[in-house]
Amino acid sequence: MQANGATRAEALFIAKVAFRELNETTTEPAVLYNDLMRLLSHHAPANSAALMAKINASLPLRTQYMELVRRQRFTHSQALAAASSKEEMPLRQNQDFSLKFKHDKVEHSQVFALLHIAHPSDSHSAYPVVLNVMSAQRCERIEFPPLIDGASQCLFEQSDKALQLLLDVDAEISIMP
């Protein structure tokens, strides 16, 4: 009799927990491996901003995402590899790409980020170019329009967090294939 009562209590407990989990509306869906892989590609899900917020809020997710970026990237510019120059704004450049920043002549609070890739892949010309910028505190996924003649540009406000991360010489920039 004792064993029968224990199994009923266990079954009741499991049913109660399952019912609570099914009816819990505040539970947000977990970030899956497939979500991370789609963020790396040019086929990002519609909720990519929310996914990046979850990645930045969780150290294990951020570490996993950064490792996936390092394995899948097309090219990168390492942290501290690009020291700021005498120019007003820093320049990130290596043998595969260059990223220059220029203030808009009309609206000085806006900054153009000019991306040039020396030997782009076919997907860089057909789909948006995905840059993953990683610092010690956060990751950011930035999409540039598809390349035309190996170049693309994006307009940012001076106060934009994505621009501040791009300008950070301690951040690592990876361009995805």
The 10s digit of each residue's pLDDT in 126-166 is 999 999 999 888 999 999 999 999 999 999 999 999 999 99
Q: And the tokens for 34?
A: 């497939």
Tell me, yes or no, whether 68 lies in a domain. no
pLDDT of residue 85: 47
> Which position has the higher pLDDT, 155 or 4?
155
Could you give the C-alpha distances from 160 to 40, 71, 114, in angstroms and in order? 22, 28, 16
Tell me, yes or no, whether 44 lies in a domain. no
Provide the percentage of residues in the chain whose pLDDT is more than 70.
86
Q: How far is CA 61 from the centre of its chain?
A: 12
Of 168, 164, 165, 3, nearest to 81 by C-alpha is 168
The mean pLDDT of the chain is 84
Is residue 86 over pLDDT 70?
no
Tell me, yes or no, whether 114 lies in a domain. yes
Task: Tell me which of 16-20, 42-46, 78-82, 167-171 is least confident.
Answer: 78-82
CATH of the domain at 146: 2.60.40
Q: At 42, which amino acid appears?
A: H
Structural domain tally of the chain?
A: 1
Domain range for 78: 74-175
Q: Mean pLDDT, to the nearest integer, of 41-53? A: 86
pLDDT of residue 133: 93
Tell me, yes or no, whether 24 lies in a domain. no
pLDDT of residue 21: 62
Tell me, yes or no, whether 33 lies in a domain. no
3-state secondary structure of 112: strand
pTM over 0.75: no
Q: Band of the pLDDT at 1, cuts 50, 70, 90?
A: very low
| β-sheet with 139-144: strand ranges across | 75-77, 172-175, 129-134, 139-144
3-state secondary structure of 115: strand
Tell me, yes or no, whether 41 lies in a domain. no
Q: Cβ distance 85 to 132 under 8 Å?
A: no
Highest mean pLDDT among 15-19, 20-24, 135-139: 135-139
Tell me, yes or no, whether 159 lies in a domain. yes
Would you give the DSSP letter of residue 79?
A: T
> Which position has the higher pLDDT, 34 or 145?
145
Tell me, yes or no, whether 120 lies in a domain. yes
pLDDT of residue 149: 92
Q: And the tokens for 59?
A: 């150290």
